[in-house]
Structure 1
Amino acid sequence: MKGLKKIALVSAIAAISAGAQAELKSLDDSVMGEMTGQAGLTIDLTANVEVGEIAYKDGGFISMTDMKLGGAGITAAGAAVGANTVLDNITIYIDVAGAGESNADFKFGLEAQVNDYIADSPATGLADLAAQTTDATQQAAIGAYALHRSNGGAADVTSIADLLETSTGAADGAIADGDLVIHLGTTNGYDDSVAGSEKFDGVDFGMTLGEVALRKSDYVVGSSVDPLAPAAAANTVLVSGIELAGKIGPVDIIIDEDTSKLAVSAYFQVAGGVAGNAAANAMKFDFMDVEIGRFAMNNSRGANKLATAGYAHAAAVVSASSKGLFVDVKDFSADMDMEDIYIGGTSIGSVYITDLEVTATMDVYGH
C-alpha cells in the first residue's frame, strides 16, 4: 500500500501543477526524502491555461474549442472592473495522514477559511472579523456565518470526513492512517493594499469557452483550430460564447486508504455575463436559439442566506461500482439567477431559483 499511496500523492501533485507555475515551500531534505511524511507539501499556485480543443469520440465526436482558464479578468465583465487575468492566490496543502492523526490535524472547509482570514487580517476572532472589511456583502456574510455557528450550526454544510461514513452516525469516515488529504485555500486571505477598501480576497477565476459542438465520425481531431487545414463549421453547436467568472472557496479532497473512495467538498460562486448587455452575455445555446444575458450561482437568499459565507456548495463521494464509476452526490445547494433570457431573439424575462438543494446517485458505465 505504501507504493500506492506515493503514486496517489505524485498523481495529485502532477494534476494540480499541469500547465501552471507553482512554488513549493517548506521542503527540507528530510521531507524530500520521505514525501509521505507528516510534514506534507504546500504549493502556491499561479496559472493561465489555454486549450485549443478537447474532443471526445464515441461513434461521432463532441468537441470543445477555445477554452481558457485564468483570473476573472479574462472575461468581459471581469475586465470591465479591472480584475486580474491570472488564476492566483491559491495555496494547496497535501498530506498523507500518519498513525494517530485525526480530523483535528488538518484544514477543512469554511472553518479553515475563516481561521485564515483571522490570521491574515487584524481580526482577533470571529466576532471581530466583519469589522476588518469595508465590503458590505462580506460583512453580512461573516455575520450570517457567525449566527449560524452560534445557533449550533456545523462549520461546514457537510463535513468532508462525514461523507465517508458507511451509515449516518457510524463515525467511521474520520481521517486515519494512510488517507490522502488535500485542501485548497487562499495564499493571502486579506487585501488591505488600498486604504479604505479593505476586503477578504478569495480566489477569483474566469473561464471562457468558444463552443461545444457535435461532429460526424470522419471529423479530423484538431482541425477546428488548425488555421492551415480548418474543419468545416459544425452543423450543430450545443452552446457557445461561455464567459463565467467567480470565486473559488475552500475545496477539500480525501482519498480513503481503507476503502479507496474519494470524497470532495467544494464551495464556490459563479457569475457570468452582464444583464442588458448583449455583447457580454453569459452563454448561448445555439441549437435552441436561447441566450442567457447574466447567470449567477451563490448563496445570497432564502432560509440559509449567507450562512456559507455566500458560497454555493457541492459535496460528493466517488468510487468504483460493479458497473463502472459510482458518484454519490451528498449535497448540492445554491441560489441561481438566469437573467435576460432570449428565445429566437425575443426576451422572455428572467428566472430566479432560491434554496436549490439536490442529492443524487449516478452509476456511470460504458454501453
Structure 2
Amino acid sequence: MKSLKISTLVLATSMAPLVAQAELQALNDQSMGQVTGQSGITIELEAQVQLGEFRYEDEGSLAISDIFIGGADRDDMFPELGFPIPNQASTAIDNIKIDIDIMADGDAVFNVLPLYGSPVDFAIRTGKWELIAQNGPRDGTVLMDNVNVEGVFGSMRIVIDNQTEKMNVNTRFAVDKLEADVPFLAMGIRDMQITGADYGTAPGESENVVRLFALADFDIYKAPNAAGVDSLALDINSFDADMHIGALELGGTSIGAVHLDDLSVHNTSMRIYGH
C-alpha cells in the first residue's frame, strides 16, 4: 500500500459528504454501548482487474471484450478544486479501506472509505459490446465500443438489515470523463461528466469536494413480481446529480453539448426475473 502525504484539510473535506448526508440521531447510553468498544474487521484494498471477455449466453450471446477495472492513472481530475486527485496516481484501485461490523440486532454494516483523505480514483474500460448469433460468425451488431469511464469515489455504506432482509447501498461518486462509441446508432459520447447537483452552481464561490459527489441510495432485496413469483427487487430511493456531455456526435460530427441540471430520480422500483 502506498504512503500518501495528505493535509488535514483534504482529509476533513473528503469525509464531509458522508457526514453531511447521514441522518444524525442522538444516542442514549444503551445504544452507545452497542457501537463503542466493539471488535470488527478492516480490509485495506488495492486491486486491478483485466478480463479478455465476458459473455452472457441465452439463445444468442452478448459479449463484452477487453475489460479493465482499476485506477485512472491521472491526478488532474476536476482541476477547479485546486488540488490533485488522487494524491498519487496509479493503474490500481487503491487507498481503500472496508470496515465490517455485525451490530447487536444482527445487521451487517460495511463502510467503504478512502484509507487516506484523497477520494479514490477509478477507471472502467471496455472494447466492443457485441451481439452474436447462435452458431453464427462473430460479425453481429456492435452496441458499444471504446468505453472509458474515469472518476472518483467518496464513500459507500452498505447495510444488510437483519429484520427486513434488505440490502441498502448509499454511495457518493463523481465521473470526470465518460466516453463511448455507439456504432449501431452512428453516435459518440465525448467528455461526459457526472457530479453533485450543486456542483458548479454557486457563482463567485470556489468549488469544493463537498459538492463534488453525485448521491445514490438504493435497496436490493427479494420481492414478488406481478405474477407473485419471487424476483430480484431494486428500489432506487434517490439519485441526485448534474450531467454534462461535452459533445454528442452523430455520424462522426458533433451536434453540440448537452446539460442535465439537478437530475433527481426517486421512488423507482424494478423487479428482475427470468422468462
Q: TM-score range by the shorter chain?
A: 0.7 to 0.9
The structural deviation recorded for 1:52 is 1.1
Partner of 2:48: 48
Aligned residue among 175, 189, 196 for 1:270: 175
Partner of 1:328: 235
The structural deviation recorded for 1:366 is 1.3
Partner of 2:273: 365
CA distance in 2, matches of 1:284, 1:95: 42
Partner of 1:68: 68
CA distance in 1, matches of 2:208, 2:269: 27
The answer to whether the aligner puts 1:244 opposite 2:149 as a matched pair is yes
8 Å contact from structure 1 (residues 73, 85) kept in 2: yes
8 Å contact from structure 2 (residues 246, 256) kept in 1: yes
* Contiguous gaps of at least 5 residues in structure 2: 1-36, 79-85, 226-230
Partner of 2:116: 188
The structural deviation recorded for 1:244 is 1.1
Greater share of residues in helix: 1
* Contiguous gaps of at least 5 residues in structure 1: 1-36, 99-176, 190-200, 220-231, 274-281
Partner of 2:93: 87
CA distance in 2, matches of 1:307, 1:202: 9
Coordinate RMSD, CA, aligned: 2.6
8 Å contact from structure 1 (residues 336, 353) kept in 2: yes
CA offsets 1:1-46 (integer angstroms, 9 cap, x no match): xxxxxxxxxxxxxxxxxxxxxxxxxxxxxxxxxxxx9411000000
Give SS of 1:287's match: helix
TM-score, reference length from structure 1: 0.56
Paired residues for 1:1-367 under 5 Å: 38-73=38-73, 83-98=89-104, 177-189=105-117, 201-218=118-135, 232-272=137-177, 282-299=179-196, 300-302=199-201, 308-323=210-225, 324-359=231-266, 360-367=268-275
Give SS of 1:95's match: strand
Q: Which amino acid aligns with 2:95?
A: N
8 Å contact from structure 1 (residues 301, 335) kept in 2: no
8 Å contact from structure 1 (residues 301, 354) kept in 2: no
The structural deviation recorded for 1:308 is 4.8
8 Å contact from structure 1 (residues 74, 206) kept in 2: no
Give SS of 2:255's match: strand
CA distance in 2, matches of 1:43, 1:248: 17
Give SS of 1:72's match: coil
8 Å contact from structure 1 (residues 301, 355) kept in 2: no
8 Å contact from structure 2 (residues 71, 91) kept in 1: yes
CA distance in 2, matches of 1:283, 1:47: 24
8 Å contact from structure 2 (residues 132, 138) kept in 1: no
The structural deviation recorded for 1:365 is 1.3
8 Å contact from structure 1 (residues 205, 245) kept in 2: yes
8 Å contact from structure 1 (residues 38, 96) kept in 2: no
CA distance in 1, matches of 2:55, 2:201: 40
The structural deviation recorded for 1:306 is 6.6
CA distance in 2, matches of 1:71, 1:335: 23
CA distance in 2, matches of 1:293, 1:88: 27
TM-score, reference length from structure 2: 0.74
What fraction of aligned residue pairs are identical, expressed as a percent? 33
The structural deviation recorded for 1:351 is 0.2
Higher-Rg structure is 1
